[in-house]
Amino acid sequence: MTDIINIVPMSKQHIGQIAKIESDSFADPWAGQIFYEVLRVPDCATFVALRSESVAGYLILRRTPPEIEILNIAVKESERKKNIATALFSALFEYAKAQGANEFYLELRRSNGPALALYKKLGFEIDGYRKNYYENPKEDAILMSLKLKTGKI
Ligand code: COA
């Protein structure tokens, strides 16, 4: 197995693997169709981490500079704790710099310890909570953001 991870934009050929990672990762996964729709939305950008030709993880965002909202991120179970999410965020921060975006927003389930630890490590701070935001199962959301000084991304 190669150690090299390439980060590329999502294309249709990745979506089968992505949909599998998605359904393995979330109690309320996005339907596969949503990933095809993302490809058609001009304000969305996508990052797919590939090990050889296999999808190891993905990140999807919506941009409205200076803001970027992270809509989805997941890493394949067997690829976790190998800095794949960190690599996806590095690619995102490079992209944001080129787009003139320096504010990042996301939300997560209150019980999602690994994601909370990841976002805190990246410098995100908790802005608040949204009661019963998620369904299946019902759960509060933690709202987080990261604001970087322009030029210091
Ligand atoms: N427990 C505690 N902290 C964790 C963790 C875990 N299981 N996984 C990641 N972290 C934190 C650590 O601070 C880690 O830094 P360290 O390795 O120096 O301790 C940091 O995140 C970076 O880890 P990384 O290896 O880049 O993360 P990852 O590639 O394993 O991906 C998730 C992290 C959250 C994306 C992954 O666990 C995942 O796909 N989970 C299911 C989907 C999901 O919850 N997505 C987020 C929705 S809001």
Q: What is the pLDDT of residues 64-123, one digit of tens each?
A: 999 999 999 999 999 999 999 999 999 999 999 999 999 999 999 999 999 999 999 999
- State the pTM of this model: 0.96
Tell the residue nearest (CA) to atom 40 of ligand 1.
74
In angstroms, rounded to a whole number, what is the distance separating the alpha carbons of residues 23 and 1? 24
Which of the listed CATH numbers 3.30.70.20, 3.30.70.80, 4.10.640.10, 3.40.630.30 matches domain 5-147?
A: 3.40.630.30
Which member of 22, 79, 95, 119 is catalytic? 119
Q: What is the pLDDT of residues 11-60, one digit of tens each?
A: 999 999 999 999 999 999 999 999 999 999 999 999 999 999 999 999 99
| Domain spans in the chain, listed from the N-terminal domain onward | 5-147
Nearest atom within ligand 1 for CA of residue 89: 26
Using the mean position of ligand 1's atoms as its centre, give its distance from the Cα of residue 117 in Å.
Answer: 7
Structure confidence at residue 151 (pLDDT): 55
Asked if 107 is an active-site residue, the reply is yes
CB 120 near ligand 1, within 6 Å: no
